[in-house]
């Protein structure tokens, strides 16, 4: 975990040397699991060509699932990921993006009595979408991502195997 945070700090600070960065906020839905998720991302643009911007950044994704309503048991699953993204420029106010990332997913089983169990697992994702530029500094985004989850253990039950999920999302970006 410490290595992941150190690497993300180095990558992000190197991208910001040119004072070019962006902030994304997203709300998404995973239809196979009927769950919503939210994410916050910060990207630095490390290379820009006439065709594309190349970005690297740090993203925080959060979702939870209610396991038992009577005992008020929830499974929280925050994710911290390092991402790469290529944003393809067009001559209009529409840009396309492709990207992917790797990180760590933290699983926490909790109730109104406190933390019951927790574990960490690897995480990966691929994503693509379209950005509608509202101005030079802002855009509205529509995207899809494929989320890949590793097995984890809770309450000494090994090999809990979450299904890989499709996520459909909308969001807002601010570039500075």
Q: Under 8 Å CB-to-CB from 136, ≥6 apart: which residues? A: 175
Q: Which residues of 84-120 are buried (b: 16+ CB within 10 A; e: fewer)?
A: bbbbeeeeeeebebebbbebbbbbbbbeeeeebeebe
Span 29-33, mean pLDDT?
86
- Residue 166 lies in domain: 2-175
Q: Above pLDDT 70, what percent of the chain?
A: 83
> What is the model's pLDDT at position 9?
52
Please count the structural domains in the chain.
1
> What is the model's pLDDT at position 132?
96
Supply the CATH number for residue 45's domain. 2.40.160.20
The residue assigned the tokens 């994702």 is: 125
pTM higher than 0.85, yes or no? no
pLDDT band at 139, cuts 50/70/90?
very high
Please give the radius of gyration of the chain, using alpha carbons only, rounded to the nearest integer. Answer: 18
Q: Under 8 Å CB-to-CB from 19, ≥6 apart: which residues? A: 176
């Amino acid at each position: 975990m410490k290595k992941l945070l150190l690497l993300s700090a180095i990558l992000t600070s190197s991208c910001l040397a040119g004072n070019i960065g962006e902030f994304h906020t997203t709300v998404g839905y995973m239809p196979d699991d009927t769950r919503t998720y939210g994410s916050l991302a910060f990207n630095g643009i490390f290379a820009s060509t006439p065709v594309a911007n190349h970005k690297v950044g740090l993203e925080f994704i959060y979702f939870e699932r209610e396991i038992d309503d009577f005992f008020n048991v929830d499974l929280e699953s925050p994710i911290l990921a390092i991402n790469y993204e290529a944003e393809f420029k067009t001559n209009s106010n529409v840009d396309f993006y492709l990207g992917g990332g790797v990180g760590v997913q933290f699983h926490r089983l909790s109730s109104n009595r406190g933390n019951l169990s927790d574990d960490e697992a690897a995480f990966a994702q691929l994503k693509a979408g379209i950005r509608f530029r509202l101005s030079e500094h802002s855009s509205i985004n529509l995207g899809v991502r494929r989320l890949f989850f590793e097995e984890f253990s809770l309450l000494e039950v090994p090999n809990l195997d979450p299904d890989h999920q499709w996520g459909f999302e909308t969001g807002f970006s601010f570039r500075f």
